[in-house]
Amino acid sequence: NDKYQMGLHKSKQSFDNLKKLLDESHDINDDLFDAIEDLLISADIGVETVLHFTNELRKEVEHQKFSQPSEISSIIVDKLFEIYLKDEFVDTTLKYVEGDVNVYLFVGVNGVGKTTTIGKLAKQYKDQGKKVLMVAGDTFRAGAIEQLREWSLRAKVDFFSKEAQTDPSSVIFEALNKAKNENYDLVLIDTAGRLQNKINLMNELSKMKRVIEKVIPEGANETLLVIDATTGQNGMNQAQVFNEATDLSGIVLTKLDGTAKGGIVLAIRHLYNLPIKYVGLGEKIDDLVPFDIEDYIYNLFK
Ligand code: GDP
């Protein structure tokens, strides 16, 4: 996907510079490791993850008794894979049980692309013949409800909402009962992204989850944090707050079609053990693709 590669361009530039640096260096020394760290930090990988990475790199260099900087590039790809995979099989697909009502809750701060992502995903499941219900759990702003309604029209799926200011959990309760009674396959729930008060956020999210558990104990659930790739390290702070506030199952990284650097993918996986499930590549309904770690890492080095 061209846009995918465009979005990773910035990271790739840093990695091109990394190769250049290795080619031009004569010794493996602290200056070289410092320069490597600077380059990776500029790719949005984040200080903590970068330090972990260069630590691993130093150990490997010693272990393999490398003396030429050019030899390091061969192990950099391996080390990045290790950080992302953590010796596990990382499943990027969303949990889905055929015949049950599956419920995906979308969380994240305002403007990151929750509504848009729900619209895009609704269309994909609709195209597979699934019966999809979009739920306006962001009752804080009337505009948010309208916006989700418009996406439901574009995706040609059903839509459920109540008046603005209704308690989100009661909206979800009614919506899930409807989904159960009318045999929906998938319920996509939008939520308000207010971070001002962490305790409130925590309480609100756990209340919503209790409702989901209660009404539909058997279906597959996902709680997806949507992050805007263009916000760089700000996205890391959001990952931290939401990860502490609730049990997340994965990340959707949006706006990777612009000048965003993709390094945050590695940092989020390393620090919070959260896999990236989908990547947003534009404002249109088809601009959402599953995250592919191999594409991602090899693109960094192409
Ligand atoms: P929400 O407040 O989290 O629901 O965010 P919205 O879904 O309303 O999106 C906020 C803005 O980001 C809108 O203008 C969207 O068109 C835009 N947007 C969402 N996803 C993407 C993406 O992957 N790429 C680009 N370029 N824009 C996006």
Q: Whose CA is nearest to atom 9 of ligand 1?
A: 113
The one-character DSSP state at 94 is P
Which tokens is 116 given?
């848009």
The Cα–Cα gap between 140 and 129 comes to: 32
For every residue of 46-65, which 3-state class applies, written as one string? Answer: CHHHHHHHHHHHHHHHHHCC
The Cα–Cα gap between 118 and 164 comes to: 19
111 CA distance to ligand 1 middle (Å)? 6
Q: Which of 283, 286, 288 to mutate to test the pocket of ligand 1 (most atoms within 8 A of CB)?
A: 283
Beta bridge pairs of residue 250: 224
Contact between 8 and 229 (Cβ < 8 Å): no
Q: Please indicate if the annotation marks 192 as binding a ligand.
A: yes
pLDDT band at 2 (very low <50, low <70, confident <90, very high): low
Q: How many Å from the N-terminal Cα to the C-terminal Cα in the chain?
A: 14
pLDDT band at 297 (very low <50, low <70, confident <90, very high): confident
Q: Whose CA is nearest to atom 13 of ligand 1?
A: 113
Q: Please indicate if the annotation marks 164 as binding a ligand.
A: no
Specify the length of the chain in residues: 302
Please state the ipTM of this predicted complex: 0.99
Q: Determine the pLDDT at residue 179.
A: 98
Q: Determine the pLDDT at residue 67.
A: 87
280 CA distance to ligand 1 middle (Å)? 9
Beta bridge pairs of residue 21: none
pLDDT tens digits, 126-135: 999 999 999 9
- Which DSSP helix (H) or strand (E) runs through 136? strand 132-137
Which tokens is 182 given?
């009318």
Residue in 53, 98, 90 with CA at minimum distance from that of residue 72: 53
pLDDT band at 285 (very low <50, low <70, confident <90, very high): very high
Share of the chain above pLDDT 70, in %: 91
Sheet of 250-254: strands edge to edge? 158-160, 132-137, 186-191, 102-107, 221-228, 250-254, 276-280, 288-290
Q: Does 78 or 241 have the greater pLDDT score?
A: 241
Burial class of residue 28 in the structure, from the number of CB atoms within 10 Å of its CB (0-12 exposed, 13-18 middle, 19+ buried): buried
